[in-house]
Amino acid sequence: MAKREGKTSDLQRRWRAGIVFLITLSGAGFGAVAGQEGNCDGRASLLVTVLDESGSTVLPGATVVLRWTDAERMPVREATGADGRVRVCVPRDATQAVLWAEFGDHSSGQAAPQALAPGEEREVRLRILSSIPSGRLIGRLVDRETGRPVATAAVSVLGRPAEAASDNRGVFRLTGVPAGQHELQVRRLGYAPLRHEVDVTSGLTTELEIGLVREPVGLEPLVVSTTRSRRLEIKGFYERKHWGELLGLGTFYTAEDIERRRPVRISHMIEDLPSIRTGLDNARAGCGLSVYLDNIRISAADLNRFVLPIEVAGVEVYKGPASLPAEFGGSDSRCGVAVIWTK
């Protein structure tokens, strides 16, 4: 299980817990806001404002998380600007979204704007409330026999009003779930209903892999549960890992992978990959791998001196510019990039 790290700021301590959302149509723009430019070239846009509990004070630096539910697109994680707002242009092939806000170790319930029409501006207001500590559940539903995703299943936590539907990749998300032990319920026509106890940790995301069985097959559903590292989640590691593995764009290692391998040096996790030239021995000529440690560029030769395998939470390896996320791009990254995140 991941450990909470760092100290929550005084501002974050004051504004604990879930967020109530209000969605209205907006007839006028906000002016200058963080995020994407105001001109969305005829596309729909979402104007998101994060406020305090009273609704009178905006909260800069809150993170808005937005996922398109009907389009194969990378999720958006944007911080609100000094005015507590962020604007997101909607892709042309998307009409539905799920979004929430995170502030410190807490997150909101989900807003789910539908039927986003070209040229429309939709306003979403997210209000931080003082409440009990909460966490998130993110899972994937598959057919236990075939391994194929199970879409349109209804997922809920017993005693909570919120219900999520799995998308065409079988993925569901429940945010603002009170910390503690809960009973997760999954229902889908043609499959045996599932009830499974899950532990929700304050400020963290619990990942679930659920294998549903078709009725009346005499198998038991299979549930695998892990808790995400909050540090890696904030840095976008899990999103890049999901899409990178889905599209074959990179290789990713978690702390569990590293523990299983037990490398003497963290560079051994990278050097074993085919077509990778690390330049760690200082003797190789030509084009070498660019290395980032906690988002800071370092010399590849210094990697093993700066960090031990036991200190590493995650590793990302990209072989060339075609697979690189924008944040690690550049002319000096043409021969690949290794990104190492510490615990």
What is the pLDDT, as a whole number, of residue 105? 66
> How confident is the model over 64-89, as pLDDT tens digits?
888 887 877 778 888 999 999 999 99
Q: Check: pTM over 0.75? Answer yes or no.
A: no
Q: pLDDT under 70 in the chain at which residues?
A: 1-38, 105-106, 109, 129-132, 216-219, 275-286
Q: Is 61 left (phi over 0), alpha (psi -120 to 50) or beta?
A: left
Q: Is there a contact between 206 and 136 (Cβ–Cβ < 8 Å)?
A: yes
Q: Is there a contact between 289 and 300 (Cβ–Cβ < 8 Å)?
A: yes
Strands 121-128 and 45-51: parallel
Q: Which two tokens stand for residue 258?
A: 């590293």
Other C-beta atoms lying within 10 Å of the C-beta of residue 158: 10
Superfamily of domain 134-228: Carboxypeptidase-like, regulatory domain (2.60.40.1120)
User: Who's near 288: CB < 8 A, 6+ residues apart?
Assistant: 277, 278, 279, 300, 335
Residue spans of alpha helices (H) in 192-309: 230-234, 237-247, 255-261, 267-271, 303-306
Distance separating alpha carbons of residues 37 and 56, to the nearest angstrom: 25
CATH 2.60.40.1120 placement within the chain: 10-128, 134-228
Range 235-342 classified under CATH 2.170.130.10? yes
Distance separating alpha carbons of residues 242 and 250, to the nearest angstrom: 10
> How confident is the model over 230-262, as pLDDT tens digits?
888 888 898 899 888 878 889 999 999 999 999
**In the CATH hierarchy, which fold is given to the domain comprising 10-128?**
Immunoglobulin-like (2.60.40)
What is the pLDDT, as a whole number, of residue 187? 93
Please tell me whether the peptide bond between 60 and the residue prior to it is cis, using omega within 30 degrees of 0: no
What is the pLDDT, as a whole number, of residue 221? 74
What is the pLDDT, as a whole number, of residue 14? 38
Distance of CA 92 to the CA centre of its chain: 22
Phi first, then psi, for residue 258 (nearest 5°) are -65, -40
Distance separating alpha carbons of residues 110 and 99, to the nearest angstrom: 6
